[in-house]
Chains A and B, each alone.
Chain A
Amino acid sequence: MKTMIVEDDAASRLIISRVLAERGHEVVSCKTAELAIEACLRERFPLMVLDLHLPGLDGLEFCRWVRSQSWGDQCFILVGTARNQADDLQAVLAAGANDYVAKPFDIRLLKIRLAIAERQVKEITSRRQAQELNRTILRTTMDGFWLLDLEGKILEVNDSYCRMSGFSREELLSKNLREMLVPDRAAMVTEELRRIIAAGAESFETRHRCKDGRLIDLDVSINYMRLEEGRFFAFFRDITERKKLAEEKIKTGKLESIGLLAGGIAHEFNNALTVIMGNISLVQSDLLQSHPSLDFLTSAQSAALKATDLARQLLTFAKGGEPIKKAVSIGEFLEQTVRSLLHASRIEVQINIQTALWLTEIDPAQICQVIENLVRNAQESMPNGGVLQVGVQNSSLEDNQLYNLPAGKYVRFSILDTGCGISAEILPKIFDPYFTTKEAGNGLGLAICYSVIKKHGGWISVESQVGFGSSFTVYLPAAKQVSPPIEEQLGLPEIESNNGRVLLMDDDPAIRELTSIMLVRFGYEVAVSRDGQEALKIYSDAQDAGNPFNAVVMDLTVPEGLGGKWAVQEILKNDSDARVIVCSGYSNDPVMANFNAYGFRARIHKPFTGDDLHRVIAQVRRQ
């Protein structure tokens, strides 16, 4: 142990030095308090043996100086004094000395006093080390820490909590814990603290407000300690991300279960709708324009179209329904869509698109659905008009900078309205399926947006303030390619009353019958089959007979037989020029997305009308 002697008498110094050396101390001797102060500023001495009568600064003053230093409580001061009256010793203790030894020294007594001092020094040292260890733990732990008094005033806080909350240590030390909580929770603090005092400790989840106004979710473990005055020790773990991910998982699970249901019924549902809509259009064409029942049919057709749209929306949740992507400049796409949606409204549209915008790989139909939903919502939130701002810009993200999006290039677009806004209570629920605040809403619009953007590997978020408006922000991954592909010519072929032979394959007899009637009305000669095997035979026979089909319309999925995916390959083996059209109620089936890759010349989604079918047949015949 390093021990300092402050003693002006040389003989006394020699005796104390000798006794200390005998006890294994490393001794530093100073003749005056001034020299001792210099030594203390250079290094620390856990033990000091101090004479009271010194030339210059005396022993009591030196003692007080030591205790006033930041390290002052970490050393033991043994005072040697010839003054052994109670008042003198009282003054010695008041100045901060730990013990005294009478002078002239009785060497045996001096040794006993030093033994006591050594024991105390050990305790002081281990206490200091424990404090240092605690401080290091609190400084380095990822968890936030608070020390609170009984009123909830923050007495101490560590760096991790400062990082979590954005407040500085000084700002937090002037706060009461109630100021960090949301109002509902703050009102419960007194009762909660009382409960913790009774139980000794508690763990629970809470939510704190950060300096920038954000709310963070925290796991808190709080202990009550019955010290001189009661104190609470609280440790916090930021679980905001974890909670978000868990909520995401629940949301994704909900969406997937809807998708499963939708996928399961889509085929039957769309077949039924095809028959309903087809028959309506047949009756419509049979009736005179003045027929009183035409209005009823129009109404039925409108309802069938709504049902079609609903089925289409539900199918976007279906698992495996990957977007049919192509590289698109989202800026132009967004501008065209927004302007066409709002061209007759009282809403002022302001569009700001960054130049040299990166391309995005998107399914235009699905993203169009997202834009449509967002714009319609904005429009409904501004019944008396307002401003809709659309911003599009490039954005490079680091790993996990935004939720769990991987690092990379993204295109970020935002749609901001000046409408009524969304309250904080319902904001976290707006992407949940079936959640709606509209009387006539089905609660699918924003859930679809969420699902579509997730399937595109992007992210959608919302910020809103009641009375000021809402802002939806969407991140979409940038495409690898730098220039947009040459757009496919999607212009519809002229409708021609062109005779020709069409082979129709569908497992549903109602569809077969209806479609046949429609095709016959368009001047086609129609043959029907129930599955792929039968279709293949009819096609081959017709070819062999020198009376081949001009086009084939095949259902993609035949539950109890061979479907169009198999049959097209077989037909193409014998006739590489066969014009085969795929037809399905599973609009998001990969074959429908990449029909060319499977050998089909075109696709048609169920439910379809006679016109749709005629157009697509005419199109493949011209190819």
Chain B
Amino acid sequence: MEQRHFPLDQAEDPIDSRVLNNLRELARESPGFLNELIGIFLVDAAGYLDQIQSAISSRDRVALLRMAHLLKGSCGNVGASELVVYANELEEAVALDQWAVLDGTMPGLRESFERVRSYLHGQLDP
């Protein structure tokens, strides 16, 4: 498997604008929707990151795979494509037992999440 280097291209937006636009459209008739969704995502994703870190430390493959899957789904919902790619890489590394690689993923992952959080904060309705 090709070794990926984190973080990825930082010049790109961390959120897929098409996904965000679709969500905005859904929010048109439900004003609090987007804020609620972003709020849920940020809390859930932060929790998944903590549990991923813990699973890597304890070498718990099952928990790690489950958390990576949840993170991927959660990120996909809001169009956090960069984090989706990270989550895919995590799943692949777990499948190949590349614990050394996994040990080095958390800083980049958190950094990417921070960029997403910061971006999404900017999207919140006042």
Chain A interfacial positions (CB closer than 8 Å to B): 9-12, 14-15, 18-19, 21-22, 53, 82, 103-108
Contacts and interface: CB of A to CB of B under 8 A. Distances in A.
Enumerate the 6 nearest inter-chain pairs by beta-carbon distance, A residue then B residue, closest first.
A104-B76, A107-B22, A11-B40, A11-B77, A10-B40, A18-B26
Given A82-B69, A103-B73, A14 B22 contact: no
Contacts of B78: 11
B72 A22 contact: no
A104 B37 contact: no
8 contacts: A9-B70, A11-B78, A12-B74, A14-B36, A14-B37, A103-B76, A105-B76, A106-B19
Contact of A107 (B23, B41, B70): B23
Contacts of A103: 73, 76
B30 interface: yes
A14 B27 CA distance: 11
Nearest to A104: B76
Contact of B33 (A9, A10, A18, A105): A18
Contacts of B72: 82, 104
A10 B44 contact: yes
Contacts of A9: 44, 70, 73-74, 77
B22 A104 contact: no
Contacts of B29: 22
Interface in B33-64: 33, 36-37, 40-41, 44
A18 B23 CA distance: 10
A104 B33 contact: no
A18 B44 CA distance: 19
A618 to B, nearest CB: 118
B109 interface: no
A12 B70 CA distance: 11
A78 B75 CA distance: 22
A53 B29 CA distance: 30
B84 interface: yes
A74 to B, nearest CB: 29
Contacts of B36: 14
A61 B113 CA distance: 34
B88 to A, nearest CB: 10
A14, A21, A104: which has the most chain B beta carbons within 10 Å? A104
A11, A12, A19: which has the most chain B beta carbons within 10 Å? A11
Contacts of B77: 9, 11-12, 15, 104-105
Nearest to A10: B40
Contacts of A108: 22
Given A103-B76, A106-B22, 11 more contacts: A9-B70, A10-B40, A11-B40, A11-B41, A11-B74, A14-B40, A18-B27, A82-B69, A82-B76, A105-B76, A105-B77
A11 B76 CA distance: 10
A14, A82, A106: which has the most chain B beta carbons within 10 Å? A14
A384 to B, nearest CB: 97
Contacts of B37: 11, 14-15
A10 B44 CA distance: 8
A9 B43 CA distance: 12
A19 B26 CA distance: 7
Given A9-B44, A10-B40, A10-B44, A15 B26 contact: yes
A493 B37 CA distance: 123
A56 to B, nearest CB: 13
A25 to B, nearest CB: 14
Given A10-B40, A10-B44, A14-B40, A104 B23 contact: no
Interface string B1-35: 00000000000000000010011011101100100
Contacts of B44: 9-11
A107 B37 CA distance: 14
Contact of A104 (B25, B26, B75): B75
B44, B75, B76, B84: which has the most chain A beta carbons within 10 Å? B76
B93 to A, nearest CB: 18
Contacts of A82: 69, 72-73, 76
A12 B33 contact: no
Contacts of B23: 15, 107
A418 B38 CA distance: 98
Contacts of B25: 107
Given A9-B44, A104-B75, A108-B22, A18 B70 contact: no
A304 to B, nearest CB: 112
A53 B84 CA distance: 17
Contacts of A10: 40, 44
B42 to A, nearest CB: 10
Contacts of B69: 53, 82
A12 to B, nearest CB: 6
A82 B75 CA distance: 12
Nearest to A7: B73
B33 to A, nearest CB: 6
A22 B75 CA distance: 23
Given A18-B30, A22-B29, A12 B73 contact: yes
Nearest to B80: A104
Nearest to B23: A107
A11 B80 CA distance: 13
A10 B23 CA distance: 15
A107 B26 contact: yes
A436 B44 CA distance: 100
Contacts of B26: 15, 18-19, 22, 107
Contacts of A22: 26, 29-30
A9 B69 CA distance: 11
Nearest to A80: B73
A10 B33 CA distance: 13
A10 B37 CA distance: 9
Nearest to B25: A107
A21 B30 contact: yes
A269 to B, nearest CB: 104
Nearest to A83: B69
A70 to B, nearest CB: 34
A19, A82, A105, A107: which has the most chain B beta carbons within 10 Å? A107
